[in-house]
Structure 1
Amino acid sequence: METTALTLVSHDLCPYVQRAAIALLEKGVGFARVTIDLSVRPDWFAALSPLGKVPLLRVGRPDGSEAVLFESNVICEYLEETQPGPKLHPADPLARAQHRAWMEFASAILGDVWGLETTPDAAVFDGKRQAIATKFARVEAALGDGPYFAGERFGLVDAAFAPVFRYFDLFDLLADTGVFAAVPKVRDWRAALARRPSVGAAVAVDYVERLHGFLARHDAYLLRAAR
C-alpha cells in the first residue's frame, strides 16, 4: 500500500484511534487514514503492529523509508514534539507530567467502558457503571472552570477523554447509567468537547450505527436495559 508523510491506521470504533485523529486535526497537519477490519487483519498490518492493535502511525522519512509508531499516547506525544500547530501539552514539566497521568486515567475509564458495553450480565454492568461513576468523581475534583481540562486551552487530556464521552452519546439513549449525575463540571466539559470540530471529525458519520451493531453482536445488557 502507498504511504504518505503521515498515515493513521484505524478501526471504525477504536477510541484510541480517535485520540490520535483528534491530535492530528488539532495540529492542522495533513495525514492519510487507512481503516481496517480487526477481525480480518491484513498481512501488512500484522507485520507492522507488534501488539496487533490500532492505532498505528506510519511516518515517512525523507529518504523514502518508513517508521511505524504504535500506542495512542506515544503517537500523540510524537505529534506534540514534531508537528507545527498549537501546543497540546503545558510547557511546565510538572503540569505536563500531570496531564500525561490523566491521559492514563482516561484509559482506565475506557477499560471499564469496555465491560459496560460488552457484558450481557446485569450485575457486571452495574459494577462497571459504578466504577465509571467513581472515576468521574475523581475527574470532577480535578477540573477547574473549563471549558476544557486545563481551562481555555484544548490539550491532549481533552483528546483522551473525548472518545470516552462519545460512547455515552449512544448509551444515554439506551439506559440511564447515572455516571454523570453528580459531576456537573464533567457534564459541562463533555458538552464543550462535543462542540469541538476535531472531536466531531475524528469518527465516520455512521459511528453511532456501527457502535449499536457492536452492542447487538455482543448481546449487550445495555440493549436489554433500553428505555
Structure 2
Amino acid sequence: MTGAVAAPGLTLVSHALCPYVQRVAIVLHEKGLAFERRTIDLAHKPDWFLALSPLGKTPVLQVRGQSLFESAVICEYLDEVATPALHPQDPLQRARHRAWMEFGSAVLGSIGAFYSAPDEATLQARAHDLRGRFVQIEDALGQRSGPGPYFAGPDFGMVDAVFGPVFRYFDVIDPLPGMADLGLWQGLPRVAHWRAALAARTSVQQAVGADYAEGLRTFLRARGSALSRRMGAVAA
C-alpha cells in the first residue's frame, strides 16, 4: 500500500467475495494502515480460523496477537485508534450513521435473497424488495445537509465504506439479460451518483482483488438459481 502507516500485527482474515471483509479493507485503506491479507475458503474452514472466529465468519482482524470479529466492531475499533475519523463528531449524527450501516447489512441480505431466488417469479419479487431499499436510500441522500458525492456530503465516511461493496455486486449483475427490465435503478439519480462516486474511490477499488468479478460470476453460476440460469443463457 503506497503511503501506508506501519501497523505491526494487523492481519485481515478474508474471503475473496465477502462484502463484510471489503468494508473493513476500505476502512484500513482510508486510514492508510498497512495490513496483511490472509484469504481462506469458507467452504473448507481451517481449524486455526475456527479458533479465531467464534461465529465462523469473515472478517477477522488480528491485532497484536488478538482477534476481533464482526465487521462493524472492527470498523468501530479502527475509527477509535486511527485517523481520519470516518464517523461524524456530533453524537446524534454518529448514531444516525451507525443505523444506516445496519441498513446496509439489511440490503446485503436482500441481495443474497435476490441472487438465490429459485425461480423467475421469486427473482422478480426479490428485485421489488431491493428496489424498495434503494428508494429509501434515495430519500436519505436527499436529506444531506450539504453538497457532495458521499452519504453525508463532501467527506467519505463509514456509511460509504459499507455501501461500496453493496453496489459492487451490480457491476457484475446489471449486464445480465433482463436486468434493466427489473427497474432497480430507474428514477434514482442520487443513488446513481453516489454509486459512481464510490466506484471511483481508490479505497473501494483496492478492497478486492483483480479476479473479484470473475470469482463472483463463478459463485453466482453455481447457485442453481434463476439468476444462475440467466447467466447460463449468456454463456450459451
Question: Which residue is 2:9 aligned to?
Answer: 5
The runs of 5 or more residues in structure 1 that have no matched partner are 61-65
Task: Name the TM-score, length of structure 2 as normaliser.
Answer: 0.89
C-alpha contact (below 8 Å) 1:120/1:218 kept by paired residues = no
C-alpha contact (below 8 Å) 1:20/1:72 kept by paired residues = yes
Cα distance in structure 1, aligned partners of 2:76 and 2:183: 33
Question: Which residue is 1:55 aligned to?
Answer: 59
Q: Give the 5 Å matches for 1:199-210.
A: 199-210=204-215
Question: Which residue is 2:46 aligned to?
Answer: 42
Question: Which residue is 2:165 aligned to?
Answer: 163
Does residue 29 of structure 1 match 2:33? Answer: yes
Instruction: Give the fraction of aligned pairs with identical amino acids, expressed as a percent.
Output: 55
Number of residue pairs matched? 219
Q: Using the TM superposition, give the Cα deviation of residue 125 of structure 1 relative to its aligned residue in structure 2, in angstroms.
A: 1.2
Cα distance in structure 1, aligned partners of 2:161 and 2:121: 31
Q: Give the 5 Å matches for 1:72-111.
A: 72-83=71-82, 85-111=83-109
Structural RMSD (CA): 1.4
SS at match of 1:9: strand
Q: Using the TM superposition, give the Cα deviation of residue 38 of structure 1 relative to its aligned residue in structure 2, in angstroms.
A: 0.5
Task: Encode CA deviations 1:196-219: one digit per residue, 9 max, x unaligned.
Answer: 000000001010100000011112
Cα distance in structure 2, aligned partners of 1:211 and 1:198: 19
SS at match of 1:24: helix
Does residue 195 of structure 1 match 2:197? Answer: no
Q: Using the TM superposition, give the Cα deviation of residue 183 of structure 1 relative to its aligned residue in structure 2, in angstroms.
A: 1.1
Question: Which residue is 2:5 aligned to?
Answer: none
Question: Which residue is 1:183 aligned to?
Answer: 188
C-alpha contact (below 8 Å) 1:7/1:32 kept by paired residues = yes
Question: Which residue is 2:225 aligned to?
Answer: 220
SS at match of 1:97: helix
Cα distance in structure 1, aligned partners of 2:156 and 2:226: 35
Task: Encode CA deviations 1:56-103: one digit per residue, 9 max, x unaligned.
Answer: 01110xxxxx221111111000000012x3110000000000000000
Q: Using the TM superposition, give the Cα deviation of residue 136 of structure 1 relative to its aligned residue in structure 2, in angstroms.
A: 1.0
Give, as a single letter, the amino acid of the residue that structure 2 aligns with 1:75.
I
Cα distance in structure 2, aligned partners of 1:208 and 1:133: 23
Q: Using the TM superposition, give the Cα deviation of residue 180 of structure 1 relative to its aligned residue in structure 2, in angstroms.
A: 1.2
Cα distance in structure 2, aligned partners of 1:40 and 1:210: 17
